[in-house]
Amino acid sequence: MYDSYRPRRRWPRWFTLWFFGTLAVAVIGLVIGAALSPGSGRQQGPALARPAPSASAASAALSGASPTAGTGSGAVMSGAMRVVPGRELVNGVYLGFPHSTAGAVSAADAVVGEVFSTLDPDRAAAVMRLTAAPSFADAPQEAAQGAVSDRESLGIWPSGPVPAGYSLLVQPLEYQTRDVAGETVTVLLLCDFTTTVPGTGTQTRIAVFPVRMAWTQSDWKAASFSGDGDAGLAAEPFSPAAAAAGWQELLPSGSTNAA
């Protein structure tokens, strides 16, 4: 069963975690029951392996998500999308994404997965120095403070090495796009938010991370994290409820991309 977790002071205006209530879990219990082990949230596997897509989704992913209009950066995406890796890897962060909506979604996937999955304030700041738009000047400092707040929420000292057995992992699984323009797009990511604490074990929750992406410096950069008004979009990933809310499968990068 999913539990709720809201890190204290973790960039409160930039993302929202919604608890999947008892009644909602009961409705989808038959769907996810086989994937849950007692008391552990979503069943843990190697690197939280993503479920295999349906045949129709796999077919769509071969050529990438389909734009509803045009093929450039202003195209609105629909259908399953395979993540496009950036052209270069700098300090463990992918950079250099295509100037397309798929590129914006892929860049958002990369930055959310990196900056929200670390308990190291210096690492969080370093990620945002590479991935934030120039207009988002306070991003490194805000990210570092967010990591400190997460450590405190998990019962860890605010500085120093992360003790053995503690971890935090945010894994984007589905996406939506909105407010698509030639140089900006808002990307919503439906994620598994997994924490591990010694003595408590591993728990996985649902989180929605909205990211405003801007095309600047010949790449997609995070211009802001904002999620006001999106609480109703939280749903069990890959469920009928998620599909009804507009979520589309976000497939891991492979030999064929969605650029």
* Confidence (pLDDT) at 231: 65
Digit-by-digit pLDDT tens for the chain (259 residues) are: 444 333 333 454 344 443 333 333 333 333 333 333 333 344 333 232 222 222 222 222 222 344 433 334 445 667 899 999 999 999 999 999 999 999 999 999 999 999 999 999 999 999 999 999 999 999 999 999 999 999 999 999 999 999 999 999 999 999 999 988 879 999 999 999 999 999 999 999 999 999 999 999 999 999 998 765 576 799 999 999 999 999 999 999 863 434 4
Query: Cα separations (Å) of 248 from 122, 173, 177, 179, 235?
Result: 33, 9, 10, 17, 12
User: What is the DSSP code (8-state) at residue 37?
Assistant: -
Residue 112: partners with Cβ closer than 8 Å, 6 or more residues away: 170, 172, 189, 191, 209, 211
Residues across the chain: 259
List beta partners, residue 188: 176, 210
Rounded to two decimals, the pTM is: 0.72
Which two tokens mark 48? 């939280």
> d(Cα 126, Cα 34) in Å, to the nearest integer?
39
Residue 175 neighbours by CB distance under 10 Å: 25
User: E strands, 100-247, where?
Assistant: 167-178, 184-197, 201-216, 219-225
For the chain, the C-alpha Rg in angstroms (whole number) is 18
- Residue appearing with tokens 């860049």: 107
111 φ, ψ (degrees, to nearest 5): -70, -40
- Residue appearing with tokens 């008004």: 229
* Confidence (pLDDT) at 104: 96
* Confidence (pLDDT) at 230: 72
> d(Cα 153, Cα 217) in Å, to the nearest integer?
36
Give the side-chain half-sphere CA count within 13 A for 197: 13
List beta partners, residue 234: none
Cβ(80)–Cβ(74) under 8 Å?
Answer: no
